[in-house]
Structure 1
Amino acid sequence: MTAVAIAPLGRREVVQWLAPSPLWDSGPVGTAAAGLLNPWIAELKTDTFVDDFLGLLAGTAGSPADLADLAPETTVGGVSTAPYRLFQPLSQRYYFVAAELVCRRPGIPDHVVGAGESAFFVMRRLRANGTEEGFVPGSGKTGSWLPAGAGLLDGEQRHPMLPAPVAPYAAAGSTTAALGLGLESGSGRTLFYGYIPVGVRETLARPMPDPAKKLAELITTPAPPGGWPDPIHSWLHQRVIDPWRRMLPPLPAPANPSYASLFLLLDLGDWLAQHLSTVHQAIVGGGSLTGAVGDLLDALEDVDVPLQGGGSVTLRAALAATVPFRPLVTGAEIAGPSTKYRLDQVSGLGSWLAGPTSATSLSGLARAALAVAPEAPVVPPELEGMILEREEPLPGAPAGSGTTYVIRVVYDHAPCEPVISAPTHRFELARALDADAPARKILLQMPDVTNMRQFDRGVAIELPPGLQRALDRVTPEMLKGDPMGPDNGIALGWICSFSLQIIFLVAFIVMFIFLLLLNIVFFWMPFLKICFPVPVPTKTPPGPTP
């Protein structure tokens, strides 16, 4: 978009954005190319990227013509039309968008941004149909992508741009030399640049409006082999069935079986209250039910739960008795029941804890009851706002492509209409741990172990009384399956000091233990490390060596 202004002596001045002037003689943005109208994206590969970029433009760290060599690589090697992949600063990659604001008259002079005027850029999201959307921030961390036409959206997010001088550098007879960048007689030019905040990738991704509804719609479609996952049923397995299995022989008994049994009962009661309320109400009120929900209720009556110290109660009675202690599920600091349950001693649990294919198992009975009284999936409160939209890839985009963006540079000079540039090359914002991301080279120096007593203890860790009492009960015999040691009843907090070097050494050793163990699955050791000997002079250790 261009703008018309009244210039001195009555001339009508047309202002527009062009690619940076150092590119006017080169590559795909020469004077005869369509790219002349498009702002340029430059990729910098050092942590001193601002100094490097400005030094390049000033001619003190290279030539301004080198700007043409800073284009990012495309996501598909050698395909010039593919989107760029912009990587995170974690990968030591930084990006500027650069453009030049000029007057369309002989000499294409730079247009000065005056007082009360501003230059900035906006990021636009491309939809599968080719239209653009602009991001309008909301209060807090909210915001929306809205359809964008030829102009700016009200409240559209703006990213600042700064002017930078371009030193004369061009050879005589070139286009850029004739336009103020001649090495011998040029006066220089000015371009505008702005930092592209790749780190806002997750901020720009909007939460899915109703993920539970999307899942419900998916479940109604033809299911693949094995069926669609049911989160409600899987929560029963994760909270109750799987932990209960891990309490049973031949696995070692938990250190405090009555404590583990109490929370299994509380979790089962909480799951029933949320997802099979009719069954839970019958448990609390002592009523009866028929059909699939009645079968589940009767099965709870048939399971006998031993009590610590002798005797037993039915699982249904245990669930009813623990209802007043339900706040313990969310960590409330209240006293537990005096009755101690032992779910690890329940007999005949082979069929009760079987999978959902067994009609008489807890899993199978729960699935049948859920089928009779289906409940819509509900997003857990802790996951609300964390399930993000997944954009459809653009036509012709490679498989696995993410959301695609462009940048438009804007000159705002109210009360006139803003001058908006043509779009940049399309680009994607890579994840922080993208598989294609370049590796940032980092050297970590391990401590010398010849005299570890020399290390100062500069890291303090404070332990609350509850954690200290639990640690005091940990004994080596627990590795053999023995229970925790006795509670000494002393409730003292501790603050302990450690050496950072030794903590780092322990973390390094533990890391390699897990790397070697998981190498059985991933076979990654040949690709994980490449070692090279470092010749260093030997020295006599100052004391005894380990």
Structure 2
Amino acid sequence: MQSQMISAHALIGQTQFMTQWVSPSPTWPTQTQNTMKRPSVLVFHDDAFMDTLIQTALQKPQDLDQHRVKTAGQKLFQPVHGDFALVAASLVCSGVTLPERQTHPEKGEQVAFVVRRLVSNTEYAWVKGQGWVVADLQKPNEQEDLQGLFPVVCGTGDQQRRIWAGLVPTSSRDTFVSQALRPAGSDLAAETQQYANTLEGAPKYPATQQFKEQLQQALLNFREKQPSPADLEASAFFFFDFLDWFSRYLPSALTLIDKGTVPADNDKLKPLYQLLVSLKTSGGPTFWDALKQVRVQHKAGNFDPTNHTNLNLRTNNTVSSEASGSALFAFFNAVPPKVDYAPLSLPDVPVRDSRLNSKDSFVVRMYYHRPYCRFRPHLLSEPSLPFTIAPYFDPDAPARPIHITMPSDVSIRGLRKYRRNVSIEMSSDLRKKIQQVTPKVMEGKLEQAVEFNLGLICSFSIPIITLVALILLLVFVVVLNIVFWWLPFFRLCFPIKR
């Protein structure tokens, strides 16, 4: 065992005494100098993976190497497919025998791991509330999502050691893929300038241009679309979006609205106030009064557009505030570059393609935090071998066996034994719609719904639902067999003894 430790120490090539993450100790005999410094990804193919991991680590720790991912780019399947991926590593001190590093939670020490995304050799970190941002390779990013680790004992007697393992969140693939990559600060500045340069007669700030475009689109919708009851709701949301823009880019205007006072003549917001007071909705209130009216619910966070029916922007299929819109555009376009309104900048939104393609992959890094350590409180390991994550519907994914027992007694007496254990709640509006669906629908006629303002909770029996679904499925499969000829590949029936 000691010779194994010495050879492992030679592999990692360290002469200075320091704490570091290395591959899990049972896999050291099969490691190379390049892989020794990486945490290992272990894959198990059954739901009892925790029992398998613990028993194998205790009784035959060398067999853990059979579960290790040994090639870059390997596809990891999700738990729904029956596969479970774990990341494992040893936290050691670089002594002659690579002694195990003891952790002290009572001193605030923490062990965890992070999932990183690789795009064109750039590493991105998953940050809560922001998605993928350019990663810090020396420590976790602020608010980066830390995944938990648990200790696993390997071997017995004097050869017993401890490794750290954690479940790789492969089931979060869809969440990971849906989020965009946020560029670094220098890239963002370049893209902001490029965006501004491509706009014909662009204003001083892209955020102003974006808001101007939103106003223009909203007013165009009123002018080009036919009047409808939705106009009242759309008008209320028009002012709600106005307040949202103030809260992000012009908070001083929002403060003025909350106070409800007229700004002084030397106030930089006086021109904006005068403009909003001069513009009126078709319902009567000025834009200033409309903003104050909507602000009450905007601040509370429970906005209900039905409470603002007097803010309609449409009059006789035209927009009464079309000239108002032009005035707003001119005002925001004339914002001087050094006016001390508030930070007017490109919104903090994703600006790059968020779709994960076949070339994108993930890695994991182990993390050890010592808050009291003055010189190196954060310790990130080397990245694991890159891997990809299979989507939920992957044709290569292993299929879990599914066995559903259908009702054996299909008589009325037998079917009534099955409990109605699935409940579906319907609103009163949905109930009315369903009541209109009768056999007369085939003739293009709808029944009149019963007028009472109550919803329904309907209970169903799973075995009977499954029986009905099976019958309908077989009908469609047989009918469409004349097109696809798929019946020989669809089902396999064999007798069982009853």
Does residue 196 (structure 1) correspond to residue 168 (structure 2)? The answer is: yes
Give the match's secondary structure for 2:383.
coil
2:99 counterpart letter in structure 1: P
Separation in 2, partners of 1:123, 1:42: 15
**Matching residue within 122, 140, 143 for 2:131:** 143
CA deviation after TM superposition for structure 1 residue 401, in Å: 1.1
Does residue 163 (structure 1) correspond to residue 143 (structure 2)? The answer is: no
Matched residue, 2:91 = 101
Separation in 2, partners of 1:279, 1:442: 51
Give the match's secondary structure for 1:191.
strand
Corresponding pairs, count: 339
Unpaired runs of at least 5, structure 2: 1-14, 184-190, 199-214, 238-303, 308-348
Matched residue, 2:467 = 505
Does residue 479 (structure 1) correspond to residue 476 (structure 2)? The answer is: no
Listed one character per residue, the Cα deviations across residues 306-331 of structure 1 (whole Å, up to 9, x for unaligned) are xxxxxxxxxxxxx4xx5466459999
Give the match's secondary structure for 1:34.
helix
More helix by share: 2
Matched residue, 2:394 = 434
**Matching residue within 356, 365, 383 for 1:408:** 365
1:187 counterpart letter in structure 2: Q
The root-mean-square deviation of aligned C-alpha atoms, in Å, is 4.0
2:441 counterpart letter in structure 1: M
Give the direction of change, closer, same or farther, for the CA distance of 1:521–1:423 in structure 2 (3 Å limit): farther
1:46 counterpart letter in structure 2: D
2:366 counterpart letter in structure 1: V
Does residue 535 (structure 1) correspond to residue 496 (structure 2)? The answer is: yes
Separation in 2, partners of 1:421, 1:495: 54
Give the match's secondary structure for 2:153.
strand
Separation in 2, partners of 1:122, 1:49: 21
Matched residue, 1:123 = 115
- Contact 1:98–1:191 (8 Å) recurs in 2: yes
Give the direction of change, closer, same or farther, for the CA distance of 1:49–1:468 in structure 2 (3 Å limit): same
1:390 counterpart letter in structure 2: R
CA deviation after TM superposition for structure 1 residue 438, in Å: 1.2
Matched residue, 1:292 = none
CA deviation after TM superposition for structure 1 residue 505, in Å: 1.4
Separation in 2, partners of 1:100, 1:402: 30
CA deviation after TM superposition for structure 1 residue 160, in Å: 2.1
Matched residue, 1:37 = 37
Give the direction of change, closer, same or farther, for the CA distance of 1:18–1:503 in structure 2 (3 Å limit): same
CA deviation after TM superposition for structure 1 residue 497, in Å: 4.2
Listed one character per residue, the Cα deviations across residues 340-391 of structure 1 (whole Å, up to 9, x for unaligned) are xxxxxxxxxxxxxxxxxxxxxxxxxxxxxxxxxxxxxxxxxxxx99x96035
- Contact 2:57–2:153 (8 Å) recurs in 1: yes
Give the direction of change, closer, same or farther, for the CA distance of 1:452–1:14 in structure 2 (3 Å limit): same
Give the direction of change, closer, same or farther, for the CA distance of 1:469–1:150 in structure 2 (3 Å limit): closer
Matched residue, 1:114 = 104
Identity %: 29
- Contact 1:469–1:490 (8 Å) recurs in 2: no
CA deviation after TM superposition for structure 1 residue 422, in Å: 1.9
**TM-score between the two structures when normalised by the length of structure 1:** 0.53
Between Structure 1 and Structure 2, whose CA radius of gyration is higher? 1
CA deviation after TM superposition for structure 1 residue 148, in Å: 2.3
CA deviation after TM superposition for structure 1 residue 70, in Å: 0.7
Listed one character per residue, the Cα deviations across residues 10-51 of structure 1 (whole Å, up to 9, x for unaligned) are x9732222211111223xx1xx54212211110112222222
Give the match's secondary structure for 1:165.
strand
**Matching residue within 58, 61, 75 for 1:64:** 61
Give the direction of change, closer, same or farther, for the CA distance of 1:208–1:81 in structure 2 (3 Å limit): closer
Give the match's secondary structure for 2:497.
coil
- Contact 2:133–2:182 (8 Å) recurs in 1: no
Does residue 133 (structure 1) correspond to residue 124 (structure 2)? The answer is: yes
Give the match's secondary structure for 1:419.
strand
Give the direction of change, closer, same or farther, for the CA distance of 1:485–1:421 in structure 2 (3 Å limit): closer
Listed one character per residue, the Cα deviations across residues 249-294 of structure 1 (whole Å, up to 9, x for unaligned) are xxxxxxxxxxxxxxxxxxxxxxxx99796796489xxxxxxxxxxx
